[in-house]
Amino acid sequence: MAKFELKLPKMGESVAEATITNWLKKVGEKIEIDEAVLEIATDKVDSEIPSEVSGVLSEILFNVDDIVKVGQTIAIIETESPPTPEGGAQSEVNLNISESVKSIESSIAKSTDIVSTPPSGAGGLSDKFFSPLVKNIAKQEGISISELESINGSGKEGRVTKEDILNYIKSPLAPKGGIPSGGKSGVIQDEVKTPNGIIQQNTTINKPQPAPPLGAGGLSNGDEIVEMDRMRKLISGYMMASINTSAHVQSFIEVDVTNIWKWREKNKNAFEKREGEKLTFTPIFMEAVAKALKDFPGMNISVDGDYIIKKKNINLGMAASLPNGNLIVPVIKNADQLNLVGMAKAVNDLGNRAKAGKLKPDDTQGGTYTVTNVGTFGSVFGTPIINQPQVGILALGAIRKVPAVIETPEGDFIGIRNKMFLSHSYDHRVVDGALGGSFVKRVADYLEAFDINRDF
């Protein structure tokens, strides 16, 4: 019998660890090749880790809720024959299919071109690479760039890891912050979404642990205190981080989508019969947004400290519902290269997998702009919060039949039209009103100019 080490696979450059949420197999149980062994959670995505070999699960090295680093061995599988060099103990397990690893490695290679900036408040620039997590810890602890460079890194090529900087902070040489009065002190890790939709752990030292809230007037009979689940904590932290980061400003515009409404009603059955896909309004709207981003590349950027990163690809995030009612933002990669059929297939695929809880970590990475459909819940318009580190997000309001003035060569008259509001939130640090307003106006222009006689 040979032993095969099941390792936690790579899930993106900024994803250094994951939480084990469920073991699907017990010690002593037989495992077939590609059969799921356990479930893990990164950000809001739950993924299954399959086995590359057939055998018997002989040892489980981590418990549920344990945090495991990428590359760590999480279980031992006994096989009947020694694993090949390509699939031996040193290989990393794929996330469902081998193409996932290739895609993730490709995205990592692209992301290395992104400029690395020093922590905010740290003087000067550095030639050394520091991860967003390390820079964030340094910022919160007031560690200067020169001080950060003096830390001996244990990571690849001498990079400073999270453990390195935390150990430095605990050392006598490190600056010591005061402990706020009340509560316990300790190291608290809040996970928040960062560039490309990847999870980052936002570490705060000596952060007090608040007691359960009693409410403004105390507890009454029948009141219940319920702790937020993991996902709600993530969303809460991300929302506050975005508000505290970006200078949010909004522009609103009303759009006449009567032609789109009529065209969809006319073609939706034929579309589903020919393509095997339902035709919703979303892919039509996403197509218009992708076109507008090509016209206004200043909206297709991200911010990293004092640097602006101009994105080459147009990757549209779309808010989708999860089985538990929370929202997640899977990403349509290279959306500007898709025709309407391709866009519909991408929208339906991501939406269906989100509802089934089958999204992969890579599905939520790499977004450059986000669209959310608040009209799904009946809202006329909304003021969405920017998906960091992006600089804009568009909310699609509900389509309503309203009386409107219609201009004709024979004069104006009142008619019934299908209209909706577009709500554009953008980061006023880098996007001025002219750009933010012009962008959402261009989206509206594309929608109102929709050809009612077009083919799909």
Distance CA 23, CA 75 (A): 10
Of the candidates 454, 422, 451, 452, the residue with the CA atom closest to the CA atom of residue 439: 422
Active site residues: 428, 432
Backbone angles phi, psi at 98, to 5 degrees: -65, -25
Please tell me the distance from the alpha carbon of residue 314 to that of residue 337, in angstroms, as a whole number: 9
Say which amino acid occupies 39: E
Contacts of 104 (CB under 8 A, 6+ apart): 10, 11, 12, 95, 361, 362
Phi, psi of 306 (to 5 degrees): -95, 15
Count of beta carbons in the 10 Å neighbourhood of residue 112: 9
Q: How far apart are CA 135 and CA 131, in angstroms?
A: 6
DSSP secondary structure string for all residues of 139-185: HHHT--HHHHHTSPP-SGGG---HHHHHHHHHSTTS--PPPPSSS--
How many CB atoms lie under 10 A from the CB of residue 170? 11
CA diameter of the chain: 88
Distances (CA, A) of 354 to 48, 200, 228, 272, 341: 14, 21, 21, 21, 20
Q: How many CB atoms within 10 Å of residue 297?
A: 12
Neighbour count for residue 162 (Cβ, 10 Å): 19
